[in-house]
Structure 1
Amino acid sequence: MLLDCIVIGGGPAGLNASLMLGRSKRKTILFDDNKPRNAVTNESHGFITRDGIHPLEFKQIAREELSKYPNVIIKKQRVLQVDKNKQVFTIKADDGEVYKAKKIILATGLKETLPNIAQVNQFYGTSIFSCPFCDGWELRDRPLALIAENNRAFHMAKVVFNWSKDLIVCTNGKQILSVEQKNQLNSKGIIIYEQEITSLQGDHGYLKGITFAGGESITREGGFVTPEWEQASSIGRDLDCEFNDQGGIKVDHFGRTNVEGVYASGDTLLAGATQLIIAAAEGSKAALGVNAALMEEDF
């Protein structure tokens, strides 16, 4: 059977794309290997009517809604390979099955690498986060730390300052801020620690303090990090999709890549804030792009 579309990735972008395709009567398979980047997250925020929802509950509700559409099938498999021959895509899953489709939507998301600090994983997702728009409200007005080892440190400090004026910036031994940037941060009372971080202290995921090389310690109650992000899947590169300077797949307003029939959405684009509601909207736009293309081909 030749499918209308295969969606690769079962996060909010892939789920919403599948919903729109289902409602458009398109024969669709959604592949989800269930390895989300937000696996450590206890609450997702910023999505109206779903603010504070657990990511697993969000996914369960989404799958229940998709079950109403018999033309949408969910496969709990990882896609290993995608090949294109003329206008048909051949997809091989890790169970050995092969599928064919007219279009594909890449919603494969990102992998993240946290700063190289031994205990950071103990606190990540409970009191240390990567998105102030997602979790800043819960940490508002507390003594916070921004731990950043890359060139996003200065911008991120300005963002986090919106939620707490009691803020320090820790570069973990990296020299990443210019003199001008340091002066601007200092003018706001933001103290910069360029020493290596030797340990993070706290209990049950809740940060209480940071100790630096040399023995200095400071009390903190939470904070943010700037992870390094990379594509969770090589499929986009394998298909020769173009990428932007940040490593995201380039698309137009309807999720179309430079490769005919290939669409992309969600965190895969690395287009800005990695928020649930934005990813879902981009999934919807990609599905609209697929639907428009299929309608034009019908005529």
Structure 2
Amino acid sequence: MNQNEYEVIIIGGSYSGLSAAMVLGRSLRKTLIIDSGKPCNRQTPHSHNFLTQDGSTPQEISKIAKTQVLKYDTVTFYEALATGAKKTKKGFEITTSLDTTFKAKKLVFATGIKDLIPKIKGFVDCWAISVVHCPYCHGYEIKNKKTAIITNGEKAVHITPLVHNLTKNSTLITSGKAGFSSEQILKFKQNNIAIIEKEISEIVHTNGQLEKIIFKDGSKENFDCAYAAIPFEQNTTIPMELGCELTEDGHLKVNSMFQTTVNGIYACGDNSTPMRSVANAVYAGNVTGAVINKELADASFNNVKAIKIYN
């Protein structure tokens, strides 16, 4: 195995990628992590709901994780952007933004997703600070506040009871005609949740802290925070170029062992599940690393040439 050949290449060096790398490093697997240094949660001030690190910044968690993973001498971290890939007879070949090429038997995508921020003034400044996506990750910190829930249809039906558990002062903003059944509308009314069908023109804030929402008709309403369900896309098209299938929601399709629909390619973290959290990403990476090591170990064990035994 030459300098640019590895047993496993992991594209993405955040929580799930580092978690997979730790398992592989402890299993003596020659592993390369390729990461561009731009995690999708870089604007999030604090991470929560993860044992031993509740309230730490994402950067603090990643720094500790990277330091611990790189103690294993078979793991290498390479800062670059993976720009292309192709299948080879022995596995896969990856090219990067630095015009380097690496080869591996197994490939892991821990690349996360890219949130498609709506073109609303102030939205991007508040995203992950006071306009958030997850009541488990951020809900405790904004409990009992006047809260907007910016979504519609089934996504609103899913998240509204979770938000209502944390605050009894919430309003649904559907940004257009509400897509609810009469029974669902009645349930919102019974829980004192108003519905605003107006479209948003601006989110007024101070340093990312939401203060009020201005609607396109000129009306406005004060809020302390908001939840928003916004669309996303994969951070990279490389898995699809290699033949990996997506789910109807746009996640990479994986089985319970985090194997994609292409043999030898795995995906873990936000790119393959709607459960976006540090804890879930670490879990997914841990399982992925173990599955890959088992496959490599079995292949090596079973390919040993038979030795003739003489009496």
TM-score, normalised on structure 2?
0.91
1:50 aligns with 2:65: no
Aligned residue for 2:94, secondary structure, equals strand
Question: Retained in 1: the 8 A contact 2:153–2:180?
Answer: no
Structure 2 CA distance for aligned equivalents of residues 25 and 113 of structure 1: 39
Contact 2:122 2:205 in 1 (8 A): no
**Which among 86, 109, 129 is matched to residue 132 of structure 2?**
129
Aligned to 2:184: 181
**Which residue matches 1:279?**
281
**Cα distance in 1 between the residues matched to 2:271 and 2:88:** 24
Structure 2: gaps spanning 5 or more residues: 303-311
Mapped to 1, the partners of 2:231 and 2:177 lie a distance apart of 15
Counterpart amino acid of 1:287?
Answer: G
How far 1:227 moved relative to its partner?
1.4
- Cα shift readout 1:240-294 (whole Å, capped 9, x = no counterpart): 112211111122222112211111100110x232000101110111111110110
- Kept in 2: contact 1:267–1:279 (CA 8 A): yes
1:236 to 214, 230, 239: 239
CA contact (8 A) 2:153 2:178 kept: no
1:75 aligns with 78
Report the residue type matching 1:288 in the other structure.
Answer: A
Structure 2 counterpart SS, 1:18:
helix
Match 1:17 to one of 20, 31, 38: 20
Secondary structure of the 2:118 match is: coil
> Are positions 1:219 and 2:222 aligned together?
yes
1:37 paired residue number: 40
- Pairing 1:75-114 to 2, within 5 Å after superposition: 75-114=78-117
Q: State the distance in 2 between where 1:259 and 1:248 align.
A: 15
**In 2, are the aligned partners of 1:173 and 1:197 still within 8 Å (CA)?**
no
Evaluate the alpha carbon distance shift between residue 177 and residue 118 of structure 1 in structure 2; reply closer, same or farther with a 3 A threshold: farther
Equivalent residue letter for 1:246: D
Measured against aligned partners, the alpha-carbon deviations of 1:27-85 in whole angstroms (never above 9, x if no partner) come to 00001111211111010111100001111111111111022111100000111111112
How far off is 1:154 after superposition? 2.1
Shift of 1:151: 4.5
For structure 1, which segment, 149-158 or 64-73, has the greater mean C-alpha deviation from structure 2 after superposition?
149-158
1:296 corresponds to which of 277, 280, 298: 298
Out of 180, 198, 201, which is 2:201 matched to?
198
Question: In structure 1, what is the Cα distance between the partners aligned to 2:144 and 2:162?
Answer: 14
Distance in 1, matches of 2:241 and 2:143, equals 43
Distance 2:279 2:62 in 1: 13
- 8 Å contact from structure 1 (residues 131, 273) kept in 2: no
Q: Is the 8 A contact 2:209 2:224 kept in 1?
A: yes
CA distance in 2, matches of 1:235, 1:133: 31
User: What is the percentage of aligned positions where both structures have the same residue?
Assistant: 32
| Aligned pairs for 1:52-67 within 5 A | 52-67=55-70
Q: Measured at CA, do residues 205 and 17 of structure 1 come closer, stay the same or move farther in structure 2, by a change above 3 Å?
A: same
1:115/1:147 contact within 8 Å kept: no
1:7-43 Cα offsets, whole Å, 9 max, x none, are 0011100010111110000000001111211111010
Output the aligned Cα RMSD: 1.5
Question: 1:115–1:148: 8 Å Cα contact kept in structure 2?
Answer: no
Please say which of residues 289-298 and 152-161 is displaced more in the overlay: 152-161
Measured in 1, the distance between the counterparts of 2:212 and 2:38 equals 31
Preserved CA contact (<8 Å) 1:114 1:226: no
